[in-house]
Structure 1
Amino acid sequence: MVKYTKKITPDRNSIMGPKKKAARKRKPEVEEKGSEVEEEIGGEEPEEKGRKRKDKKRGENKYIGAHVSISGGIWKAVGDCLAMGGRSFALFLGSQRSWQRPPLNSTAAEKFRKACGENGFDPVHILPHGSYLMNCGSPKQDVFEKSQALLVDELSRCSALGLCLFNLHPGASLGSITTEQCQEKIAQSINHALQQTPAVVTVLENMCGQGSTVGGQFSELRGIIDKVRDQSRVGVCLDTCHAFAAGYDLSAKGGVKSVLDEFDQVVGLSYLRAVHLNDSKGKLGCHLDRHEDIGHGQIGIPAFRDIVNEPRLDNIPLILETPGR
């Protein structure tokens, strides 16, 4: 999460997450990271009482959080989210370094479900992230088959944890098949996994357009969705850095609205299940996947302020993946 030096008094109606009742009776001497991020990208000047009530209602519909660690036990991710004042979070479900992983421990899964329930985390605000090893559009048969199997495993883990969303990078053609053929293979992998597992929605992350990756353009995401048989179980996570690097100008005045309008026209806002909040080291259209802390990159604070004040992004997880310092 981003650390800012400006000292603020956290808004008691903060959109950054549950606080204990006792904390409401006094102003804390030390600000939480979540509150500092919120002030920087979403804080507004105090106004008349009527406006405050309106801001409170809007803020209550925003679910901001971050990608958290599962080190020491997957259930500890919940505590890490609470410690930073988050209302949503992302996490990996296993090692990112191996195709083969030990089965999910049933006790650990029960502890995770219990921690989520006790702390009021709805599964729609938790976004597991897929292994970077997966390439569900790979033209290499061995990689394609391993990716298919890993996707089934990831969705099975989601089910065991009581989760309903799973985020993945769509895939890459490696330059040896067409984009259309790659889309077909990605959809084939999703269709196969959905047949093997119940309920979980596969959430495709938009890409930056680097190399042979598929999903940098909204039309490519739509192309995959069109080939998924059960479209109630497929969605999109909009990564701000990736979108900017792919040429969607979030930094322009009114850019957030324009990009969401285009997304709605091409894909459909009904498919938007989450947002990754990342600034970009690279310039507009650079096609480089280089995340930067919010406010330190090329997208800039105004765009993120527009994001957290955009009603069309209510009630979905808004996840910070930035490096954090």
Structure 2
Amino acid sequence: MVQVKVGVHVSIAGSLDLAVDRARDAGCDVFQMFSRNPRGWGFKPLSDEDSDLYKKKIATTGLLPVDHMPYLPNLASPKPEIWEKSVQTLTAELDRCGRLGIPYLVTHLGHHLGDGIAGGRARVIKAVTAALESSESGTMLLLENTAGEKNSVGSSFEHIGAIIRGLPADKRIGVCFDTCHAFAAGYELRTEEGMASTLAQFDEQVGLSRLRIIHLNDTKGDRGSGLDRHEHIGMGFIGEEGFRCLLHNPVFSRLPLVCETPVDERRDDRGNIRAVRDLAR
């Protein structure tokens, strides 16, 4: 039996510290959250009371927290106003994580909006460099691979590796590996041979030592579909056997696993956590 550390993305509705309660109640070892409203540019500054209560609950539960960037920022945007606001948001989120003691901040790399991957990649490098230079937070920024949707940056390991090599502060950079996104981008995860090939490519282009968090998601799209649609663990195209193979791979099983799976009449967060633990046996 493989002992995995698994959890889900939880809501901060009501107050930040309630995310810790929700994660504990769901049976998490690790949890992910948005530290602020993910659907807007504005946000309420952290108060000392909010920060202290959150950190006190984390200390008493022993849970590992992970923060995720909000939806609107686009670090690859060719539009100056959007790009600048994205850098400001990334800087502010790094600062919030530092104040809350959150070790990892996950970010998408964005979309180049049609002017080419090279330009988009250069803007991501510039944006991340600016944010890291402006923030004194010790939080590690995790670059998340994408599903290969139109104009996206970061769907190939080669592109992620090139971005990391372009960053002067690369020791503050890690990677969040999303299984749904990798599979949708064409990487095989369902067999031991496929996993070995995928991880060899990742190691060559990025380096396995940079892996910090796994977004463990099944997918509603087949391999290479470019479709970013998450599904319950074992109920999508990766399937139960694929996740059993993945969860018994030592590279994945040693890392914190965060499910970003649906909640519906078929299964809830507890159900997906249970499915992961069952498949790890």
For 2:94, the aligned partner's letter is L
Larger-gyration structure (1/2):
1
* Offset at residue 253 of structure 1 (A): 4.7
Q: When the two structures are superposed, what TM-score results if normalisation uses the length of structure 2?
A: 0.90
The residue that corresponds to 1:225 in the other structure is: 164
- For each residue in 1:157-205, what CA deviation from the matched residue of structure 2 results, as whole angstroms up to 9, or x when unmatched? 10111112100101111002x2122111111111111112221111011
Tell me which amino acid in the other structure corresponds to 1:299.
Answer: I
2 CA distance for matches of 1:315 and 1:196? Answer: 32
Task: Answer whether contact 2:190 2:246 (CA < 8 A) is retained.
Answer: no
Q: Deviations over 1:178-233 (max 9, x none)?
A: 21221111111111111122211110110011010100000010011011111111
Structure 1 residue 309: deviation in Å?
2.0
Aligned to 2:121: 183
CA distance, structure 1, for counterparts of residue 231 and residue 251 of structure 2? 24
- For residues 68-147 of structure 1, the aligned pairs below 5 Å read 68-121=10-63, 125-147=64-86
- Letter aligned with residue 191 of structure 1: T
Give 3-state SS (helix, strand or coil) of 1:127's partner: strand
Moved more, 65-74 or 248-257: 248-257
Q: TM-score, normalised by structure 1?
A: 0.78
For the residue of structure 2 that corresponds to 1:214, the secondary structure is: coil
Q: Quote the residue 1:200 is aligned against.
A: 139
User: What secondary structure is seen at the aligned counterpart in 1 of 2:43?
Assistant: coil
Structure 2 counterpart of 1:184, one-letter code:
A
CA distance in 1, matches of 2:19, 2:235: 27
* Alpha-carbon distance, 1:315 to partner: 4.3
Q: 1:211 pairs with 134, 147, 150, which one?
A: 150
Looking at structure 1, the residues matched to 222 and 120 of structure 2 have their Cα atoms a distance apart, in angstroms, of 27
Distance 1:308 1:216 in 2: 22
Stretch deviating more after TM superposition (220-229 or 191-200): 191-200
Query: Shift of the alpha carbon at 1:131?
Result: 0.8
Contact kept? 1:126, 1:317, Cα under 8 Å: no
Q: Amino acid of the residue matched to residue 286 of structure 1?
A: S
AA of the residue aligned to 1:66: V
Q: Which of 198-207 and 247-256 deviates more? A: 247-256
Which amino acid is the alignment partner of residue 130 of structure 2?
H
What RMSD, in angstroms, separates the aligned Cα atoms of the two structures? 1.3
Does structure 2 retain, via aligned residues, the 8 Å contact 1:291–1:322? yes
Pick closer, same or farther for the CA change 1:169–1:255 going to 2, 3 Å.
Answer: same
Match of 2:162, SS state, is helix
1:105 Cα deviation (Å)? 2.3
Q: Residue 256 of structure 1 contacts residue 303 of structure 1 at CA under 8 Å; is this kept in 2?
A: no
1:191 partner SS? helix
Amino acid at match of 1:129: H
Whether contact under 8 Å (2:189, 2:246) holds in the other structure is: no
Mean Cα deviation higher: 72-81 or 303-312: 303-312
Once the two structures are aligned, what percentage of the paired residues are identical? 38
Q: How does 1:1-325 map to 2 (within 5 A)?
A: 55=1, 58-59=2-3, 62-121=4-63, 125-176=64-115, 178-197=116-135, 198-325=137-264
How many angstroms apart in 1 are the aligned matches of 2:196 and 2:239? 15
What is the alpha-carbon distance in structure 2 between the residues aligned to residue 276 and residue 147 of structure 1?
23
Task: Report if the CA contact (8 A) 1:127-1:317 is conserved.
Answer: no
Q: SS at the partner of 1:166?
A: strand
Task: Name the SS for the 1:203 alignment partner.
Answer: strand
Letter in 2 for 1:167: V
Instruction: Deviation per CA, 1:53-91: give whole Å up to 9, x if none.
Output: xx3xx41xx211000111111111111111121100100
